Chain A
């Protein structure tokens, strides 16, 4: 009966009740979404790379290098020469060194040029290796230059199967003005899902990158000039590279030495603390301006940067929520005047002031619970809808499950705070109930 009265009373004021629920739900949604995204970003960033001790690239900010080489966000403006790569590889503390080459794309998905070793040494999450769900990895043999291994999302979203052939484009982004359509790549393998940017990547061999960049026609060259992302960087290195390739066009596929440079080098060391030595050696390398970053350290820096923003967002969303809860309490307080008749009827029928107090608090509880459910559904729906966008553009892989421990804390604190806010109208009703006579006219 008690619950029935509270529900019917809310239904009776359904317009204000719904508006209140909507405003509380919206602000709860903001709070839950901020919490959700920051949590998920934290875990998804952390699991993106493991087993790689150092990332070597041309001198730039460590975040820049990390974002470009691991998250495929932004560009590496300069590259590492093949000679430097060889030097790094032969260092005594270095167990393995795998070059990667970035800068091309296919329908918005990044293309990564690398060697066969990449698939053995690259680890993600809790030191998990990459696994093929179908087909095989391209081999280092020069004959298999035009093979591509797809990340699971690329295959799924674009509907590619083993044996399909595709054309890669120059530059990154969904629309590219230049397609390397003189070279077609054949899908040789598809990787199993990892929940990291690997899923959004097409892997080809370094030679494949070189072959692709050999322009068959002169007029395409001009286009290159306009849209070359390396344009404006000192020395127009990209161009020199292409010119050179023009001369040796017919040999390009067969000359390993023609790989002039790579974007970055992933390094694994032999002993645990050797990475520091290797890092110092790379940073002091005389022939080229290089830097080496430790992914864990760079990730922490990245996370710290995000954490301060997260705190600000969290604070704002808490304040917004507080404001809407105040609004709910105001709404209920305002309704007390029109409900004084109701309260006096209840009193006459023998309801205690406590009964009326609890009735108002129950209404607060019902409003908040409905808002919470609505907000969670909103978070769930929006996560579902934005998950592909977040993973494609920001490298954040969100897991569409929202019942984390944090969410539970939020739920309980919101309920507690709203009940506390509900004290205001409830106490007002209680007082009203004490003072009311039989004859409210």
Chain B
């Protein structure tokens, strides 16, 4: 495998930093984790296992309390909020479970908004071509671009979400249970399209789901309870300091 595109070392994260608890209620403790470029990783875990927090750290919306997080050779833990926003816009595509699009904007505007915020290109025709190509790859009609996002079916919305996530040609694509709102048939079709697209662009895919049946299609499978050592550390700390704590 090539160089790691994501590198976690000794990452600690808690939400209640501002509260005056002496021992923070740790949510995430990842001593070491690496993802290689182009790798497709399946991340699974029960709710409360720290999946969401992990994604927030990966996208730079939250910053860890301590440790070092390097992505694409850049140290996120040393960046300012503004730099993190710019980094996210340029390098990371995100697909949510549902409601990915701003409902009152047209499909095209939703996609253009992502391009606008990434500030990657000024070439309008190149951008237009790229969007049309992506639309075609995802088996969507071109006429969909002028529709209001709120007019689309859930399946269409999820596929437009892929277009929007991929329009800036991100190095990393994060998909958070993108298929959970879809029926079985569209789920397979959606996954097939997603894989085809990330393979052709050599994009690193992080796919979060609790649906273990999907795991076999991925090169690497990460279980949150293994990755996240927060519980271990928290209970150790709690017993050390003899503070009865919430876990």
A contact residues vs B (CB 8 Å cutoff): 1, 4-5, 8-9, 11-12, 341-342, 345-353, 355, 436-439, 441
In the complex formed, the residue of A with least CB distance to B56 is A437
Chain A facing B: main interface SS? helix
In the complex formed, the residue of B with least CB distance to A351 is B117
Assess whether B176 is interfacial by the CB under 8 Å rule: yes
Contact B114 A353 (CB under 8 A): no
In the assembled complex, the Cα of A345 lies from the Cα of B114 at a distance in Å of: 10
Q: Which A residues lie within 8 Å of B90 (CB)? A: 350
Contact B104 A11 (CB under 8 A): yes
In the assembled complex, the Cα of A353 lies from the Cα of B84 at a distance in Å of: 12
Contact A9 B104 (CB under 8 A): yes
Contact B89 A341 (CB under 8 A): no
Contact B61 A437 (CB under 8 A): yes
Assess whether B14 is interfacial by the CB under 8 Å rule: no
Q: Which of B93-117 contact A (CB under 8 A)?
A: 94, 96-97, 99-105, 109, 112-114, 116-117
Q: Which B residues lie within 8 Å of A12 (CB)? A: 103-104
Of listed A11, A345, A353, residue having the most chain B CB within 10 A: A345
Of listed B109, B113, B118, residue having the most chain A CB within 10 A: B113
Contact B81 A438 (CB under 8 A): no
Minimum distance in angstroms from A256 CB to a CB of chain B: 84
Contact A345 B55 (CB under 8 A): no
Q: Which A residues lie within 8 Å of B97 (CB)? A: 439, 441
Q: Which A residues lie within 8 Å of B114 (CB)? A: 349-350
Minimum distance in angstroms from B156 CB to a CB of chain A: 17
Contact A438 B59 (CB under 8 A): yes
Contact B104 A438 (CB under 8 A): no
Assess whether B202 is interfacial by the CB under 8 Å rule: no
Given A350-B117, A437-B52, A438-B94, 11 other A-B residues pairs in contact with their CB atoms under 8 A: A4-B105, A5-B113, A8-B109, A12-B103, A346-B102, A348-B59, A348-B61, A349-B118, A351-B89, A438-B96, A439-B96
Assess whether B22 is interfacial by the CB under 8 Å rule: no
Q: Which of B106-142 contact A (CB under 8 A)?
A: 109, 112-114, 116-118
In the assembled complex, the Cα of A142 lies from the Cα of B103 at a distance in Å of: 85
Contact A350 B88 (CB under 8 A): yes
> What are 29 A-B contacts defined by CB distance under 8 Å?
A1-B112, A4-B105, A5-B105, A5-B113, A8-B104, A12-B103, A12-B104, A345-B99, A346-B113, A346-B117, A347-B85, A348-B61, A349-B113, A349-B164, A350-B88, A350-B90, A350-B117, A351-B85, A351-B89, A351-B117, A352-B81, A353-B81, A437-B55, A437-B62, A438-B56, A438-B59, A438-B96, A438-B174, A439-B52
Q: Which B residues lie within 8 Å of A1 (CB)? A: 109, 112-113, 116
In the assembled complex, the Cα of A345 lies from the Cα of B93 at a distance in Å of: 11
Q: Which B residues lie within 8 Å of A345 (CB)? A: 99-102
In the assembled complex, the Cα of A311 lies from the Cα of B96 at a distance in Å of: 57
Assess whether B86 is interfacial by the CB under 8 Å rule: yes
Of listed A4, A350, A438, residue having the most chain B CB within 10 A: A350
Assess whether B21 is interfacial by the CB under 8 Å rule: no
Minimum distance in angstroms from A228 CB to a CB of chain B: 71
Minimum distance in angstroms from A183 CB to a CB of chain B: 74
Q: Which A residues lie within 8 Å of B81 (CB)? A: 352-353
Q: Which of B15-68 contact A (CB under 8 A)?
A: 52-53, 55-56, 59, 61-62
Minimum distance in angstroms from B152 CB to a CB of chain A: 15
Contact B61 A341 (CB under 8 A): no
In the assembled complex, the Cα of A8 lies from the Cα of B112 at a distance in Å of: 14
In the assembled complex, the Cα of A342 lies from the Cα of B102 at a distance in Å of: 6
In the assembled complex, the Cα of A108 lies from the Cα of B245 at a distance in Å of: 89
Contact A439 B55 (CB under 8 A): yes
Q: Which A residues lie within 8 Å of B88 (CB)? A: 348, 350
In the assembled complex, the Cα of A196 lies from the Cα of B113 at a distance in Å of: 60
In the assembled complex, the Cα of A8 lies from the Cα of B113 at a distance in Å of: 13
